[in-house]
Structure 1
Amino acid sequence: MTHYRSSDTKREQFRRYLEKAGVVDSLTSVLVALYEQQERPSNALEFIKEHLGGGGQTSTDTEDLQQEVMDLRQRCSRLAEENKDLKTRLQHYEPEEGATAD
């Protein structure tokens, strides 16, 4: 009987922890949103992930960020090429250190 009460106490503590952290409210609101959908999504788990873990970030935001990353990578590549070209041009005007001018 003691073991039974111990597990109930742990469950109750865990339930209070989840309520205090706002987990129960978040899960409830997502499940209510799923219930209120006119047409059920084909993947309920994906719906929950999007509405629970997304933090309001839409797929448009994700696409915008991915485009920005691609643009920045291209810019970095162009700058690296420009840097290489400028170093090559600079070598024509300044001899490398350690080289002696005869």
Structure 2
Amino acid sequence: MAHYKAPDHKREQFRRYLEKAGVVDSLTSVLVALYEQPEKPANALEFVKQNLGTPGLTAADTEALQQEVVELRQKCARLEEENLDLKARLQSHEPPEDAAATE
């Protein structure tokens, strides 16, 4: 029974794509960093996740950024409410458009 294999040209094309995108280099550097760890982390996958992202960005940085996003979304919602309130107050102080046109 023959096993299905992707054509070699498709594999080669995909490999070149990964190299051009920098994926191969990134994965290699993370795996080398894991290999060079004097004490291997208990969770290798977590190590890879933390070190594969933006260089220098720690879990604490990520958590702080997520908290900032939450706070900014809340502030945005408050400002939208304030904007609607101010528009309503402005409408109550402006004469109707029909009255302004007849004068």
Quick one: which amino acid aligns to residue 55 of structure 1?
A: T
Are 2:41 and 2:47, in contact at CA under 8 Å, matched by a contact in 1? yes
Instruction: Tell whether 2:54 aligns with 1:55.
Output: yes
TM-score, reference length from structure 1: 0.58
Where structure 1 has 5 or more consecutive residues not aligned to the other structure, the ranges are 1-6
Are 1:18 and 1:24, in contact at CA under 8 Å, matched by a contact in 2? no
- The residue number in structure 1 matching 2:32 is 32
Distance (whole Å) between structure 1 residues aligned to residue 51 and residue 82 of structure 2: 44
Are 2:19 and 2:25, in contact at CA under 8 Å, matched by a contact in 1? no
Identity within the alignment, % = 62
Quick one: which amino acid aligns to residue 78 of structure 1?
A: R
SS at match of 1:29: helix
- The residue number in structure 1 matching 2:84 is 84
- The residue number in structure 2 matching 1:65 is 65
Are 2:50 and 2:59, in contact at CA under 8 Å, matched by a contact in 1? no
Distance (whole Å) between structure 2 residues aligned to residue 70 and residue 88 of structure 1: 27
Question: How much does 1:85 deviate?
Answer: 2.1
Q: Over aligned residue pairs, what C-alpha RMSD do you find?
A: 3.5
Where structure 2 has 5 or more consecutive residues not aligned to the other structure, the ranges are 1-6
Number of residues paired by the alignment?
Answer: 92
TM-score, reference length from structure 2: 0.57
Are 1:31 and 1:48, in contact at CA under 8 Å, matched by a contact in 2? yes
